[in-house]
């Protein structure tokens, strides 16, 4: 997790809970009982410490693994005993059980999410929520007001509940916080943590009587802050699946791919189409149909009329080695259009796949004859996602039925939105290489060489990790009329603030402000419902280039006609 997002969350939490935020006029539901609110943190992917729950002797290394030793992340053991370390990280790719020689489990409490690899040198490099917690302490937030709910981010959602009873425990956490503090909680979710929270809300429907569901939500959850949420998935997940993503660790991309692909959660952030949904997961529990039946994917007309499933470009373009004759392509026939003349004469064939074809398994089936991992990937996709009895997470989000929702993300940074792959000639896991990358930046698409690329770019770009198309999906949760405010991120006297009121908002269309922009100024743009539903409030915050190195500033936010200053820092 990057520091910029942590500081956004810190500012948000302090805004709601510190005495400085309690005075003044209307608070949009935040003026009563702030001292009784709790903050519940759901961390993102790879943002929770994992500890060994086994004794593992590591030959040729002075370091062994003993119960409660750090696994994720102990860079010393990773460097000195990488094979042992991998045994403690890997899961069975089909049933998600531990390696026979070593098992790891998530740590608990705030310490599990503050620094992944504590130490004089490694600590600052792996700091996750440490600064956030430090700020809360400095501003007088009570210790029992901040609750972390770590989880094993390697598991798919159904296994989180089956193995660890995670969602039962999360429900108890909310209920305990209410009893302890006397008030509801504010949920702070980052990255994959948003997917976890969405699944929890759906799981909760099956645990609570329908008439009591909304009552439970209103009593236990006051607000939800979705930070850097991959609401329609992230294209980097495809890169990690095919070529590996090292997280900056001293391992090869092949090793990283082997590890990542053993995790059932590797599919959880796959990109998918905003135009395709599945059967109502809640209603099917009350039908005669089997809970494990394959939910049919239903796409509207826009999916087939528009290009790229609504994304800026095709997610994957892959070169398939050709041999003479159709028999060389038993898994491709019928799944993608190919140039038969190229196949007949043995030229490589390029296949392109949209977000829908990635998430529904078309892409995986097309490469089945050329990638030994495709069988595993297809199994996880169908078993843990398409057939999930609670929710198929690879479907677009509707607005959660909560009182207050704040969607916060960075924009205007160079972000990967598509890839070109080709066979490397090497065995798995190094059998694919990236030949080109498509980036979005400042409303245009570029190749890795810097050439302009045709497509459907958005109004701006994403946050370096998640494309703008996915981050900004929460704008669909806004109403038909939206108030927009744009202000500089740096301290200002208010003269540079621009406001547009009652801007028309069409369903599934982006809201683009008609405002001036100085190229040297970094802005924060707020979108809020002009006409909110009774008791509901939705806001979206877009921050320009939040990943600034070594920046420190004081910001003043215009929050419901009340200026609220708070310190704001950016970290790489």
Q: What is the pLDDT of residues 143-183, one digit of tens each?
A: 888 999 999 999 999 999 999 999 999 999 999 999 999 99
What are the C-alpha distances in Å from 421 to residues 13, 253, 351? 43, 15, 10
Cβ-contact 455, 312 below 8 angstroms? yes
| Same structural domain, 451 and 486 | no
At 166, give phi and psi (nearest 5°): -60, -40
446 and 538 in a common domain: no
By residue range, what is the domain housing residue 382? 155-228+235-280+299-323+346-464
**For residue 368, is it within any domain?**
yes
Where b means 16+ CB within 10 Å and e means fewer, 261-279 reads bbbbbbbbbbbbbbbbbbb
Phi first, then psi: give them for residue 562, nearest 5 degrees. -130, 125
Same domain for 269 and 183? Answer: yes
Last residue in a domain, options 72, 106, 123: 123
Same domain, 49 and 179: no
Choice among 29-43, 144-158, 381-395 with the minimum mean pLDDT: 29-43
Instruction: List the one residue out of 318, 363, 315, 322 whose CA is nearest residue 341.
Output: 322
- Residue 361 pLDDT more than 50? yes
What pLDDT shows up at residue 7?
A: 53
Average pLDDT over residues 255-279: 93
Q: Which domain-ending residue is among 464, 493, 516?
A: 464
Please report whether residue 188 resides in a domain: yes
Query: Could you tell me if 460 and 512 lie in one domain?
Result: no
Once rounded to an integer, what is the mean pLDDT over residues 244-253? 89
Residues 6+ apart with CB under 8 A from 322: 328, 329, 342, 343, 346, 347, 348, 349
67 and 89 together in one domain: yes
For the whole prediction, is pTM greater than 0.85? yes
* Domain shared by 355 and 444, yes or no: yes
Q: Are 169 and 151 in contact (CB under 8 A)?
A: no
Verify that 507 and 367 share a domain, yes or no: no
Q: Does residue 514 fall inside a structural domain? A: yes
Angle at 431 between CA 309 and CA 425, to 5 degrees: 120
Is residue 572 predicted with pLDDT exceeding 60?
A: no
Rounded CA-CA distance 551/475 in Å is 28
Name the pLDDT band for 553 (thresholds 50, 70, 90): very low
Q: Are 358 and 272 in contact (CB under 8 A)?
A: yes
Distance, in Å, from the CA atom of 156 to the CA atom of 381, rounded to the nearest integer, reads 10
Tokens of 68: 């409660």
Report the phi/psi class of residue 104: left, alpha or beta, with left for phi > 0 and alpha for psi in -120 to 50: beta
Q: Is residue 399 part of a domain?
A: yes
492 lies in the same domain as 417: no
Q: Do residues 422 and 381 share a domain?
A: yes
Looking at the structure of the chain, the number of domains it has is 3
Q: Is the pLDDT of residue 342 over 60?
A: no
Alpha-carbon distances of 364 from 58, 350, 373, rounded to whole Å: 36, 15, 9
| C-beta of residue 58 within 8 angstroms of C-beta of residue 65 | yes
Answer whether residue 13 is part of any domain: no
More confident of the two residues 314 and 142: 314
Q: How crowded is residue 330: how many other Cβ atoms within 10 Å of its Cβ? A: 10
What would the mean pLDDT of 357-362 be, rounded to a whole number? 95
Is the domain of 395 the same as that of 508?
no
| Domain contains 335 | no
Residue 219 and residue 80 share a domain: no
Residue 424 lies in a domain: yes
Residue that terminates a domain, selected from 69, 101, 123? 123
């Amino acid at each position: 997790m990057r520091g910029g997002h942590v500081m956004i969350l810190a500012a948000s939490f302090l805004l709601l809970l510190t005495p400085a935020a309690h005075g003044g006029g209307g608070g949009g539901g935040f003026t009563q009982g702030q001292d009784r609110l709790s903050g519940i943190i759901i961390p993102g992917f790879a943002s929770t410490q994992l500890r060994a729950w086994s004794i593992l002797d590591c030959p040729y290394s002075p370091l062994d693994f003993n119960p409660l030793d750090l696994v994720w992340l102990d860079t010393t053991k990773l460097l000195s005993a990488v094979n042992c370390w991998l045994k403690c990280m890997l899961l069975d790719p089909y049933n998600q059980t531990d390696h026979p020689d070593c098992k790891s489990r998530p740590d608990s409490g705030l310490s599990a999410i503050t620094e992944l690899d504590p130490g004089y040198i490694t600590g600052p490099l792996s700091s996750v929520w440490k600064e956030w917690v430090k700020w809360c302490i400095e501003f007088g937030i009570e210790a029992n007001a901040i609750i972390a709910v770590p989880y094993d981010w390697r598991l798919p959602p159904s296994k989180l509940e089956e193995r660890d009873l995670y969602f039962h425990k999360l429900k108890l956490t909310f209920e305990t916080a209410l009893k302890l503090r006397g008030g509801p909680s504010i949920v702070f979710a980052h990255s994959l943590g948003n997917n976890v929270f969405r699944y929890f809300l759906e799981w909760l429907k099956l645990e609570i009587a329908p008439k009591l569901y909304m009552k439970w939500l209103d009593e236990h959850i006051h607000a939800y802050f979705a930070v850097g949420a991959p609401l329609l998935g992230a294209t980097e997940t495809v890169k990690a699946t095919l070529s590996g993503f090292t997280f900056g660790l001293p391992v090869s991309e092949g090793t990283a791919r082997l590890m990542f692909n053993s995790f059932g959660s590797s599919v959880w952030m796959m990109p998918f189409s905003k135009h395709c949904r599945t059967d109502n997961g809640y209603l099917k529990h009350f039908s005669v149909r089997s809970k494990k039946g394959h939910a049919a994917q239903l796409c509207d007309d826009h999916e087939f009329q528009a290009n790229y499933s609504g994304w800026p470009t095709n997610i994957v373009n892959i070169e398939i080695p050709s041999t003479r004759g159709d028999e060389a392509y038993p898994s491709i026939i019928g799944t993608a259009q190919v140039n038969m003349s190229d196949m007949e004469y043995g030229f490589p064939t390029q296949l392109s796949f949209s977000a829908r074809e990635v998430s529904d398994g078309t892409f995986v089936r097309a490469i089945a004859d050329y990638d030994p991992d495709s069988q595993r990937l297809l199994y996880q996709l169908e078993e843990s996602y398409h057939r999930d009895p609670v929710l198929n997470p690879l479907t677009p989000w509707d607005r959660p039925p909560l009182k207050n929702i704040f969607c916060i993300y960075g924009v205007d940074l160079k972000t990967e939105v598509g890839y070109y792959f080709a066979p490397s000639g090497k065995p798995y896991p190094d059998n694919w290489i990236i030949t080109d990358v498509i980036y979005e930046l400042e409303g245009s698409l570029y190749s890795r060489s810097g050439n302009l690329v045709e497509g459907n770019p958005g109004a701006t770009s994403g946050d370096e990790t998640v494309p703008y198309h996915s981050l900004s999906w929460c704008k669909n949760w806004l109403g038909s009329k939206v108030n927009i405010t744009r202000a500089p991120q740096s301290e200002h006297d208010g003269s540079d603030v621009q406001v547009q009121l009652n801007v028309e908002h069409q369903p599934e269309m982006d809201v683009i402000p008609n405002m001036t922009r100085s190229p040297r100024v970094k802005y924060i743009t707020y979108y809020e419902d002009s006409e909110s539903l009774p008791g509901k409030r939705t806001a979206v915050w877009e921050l320009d280039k939040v990943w600034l190195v070594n920046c420190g500033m004081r910001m003043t936010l215009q929050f419901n006609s009340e200026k609220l200053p708070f310190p704001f820092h950016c970290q790489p």
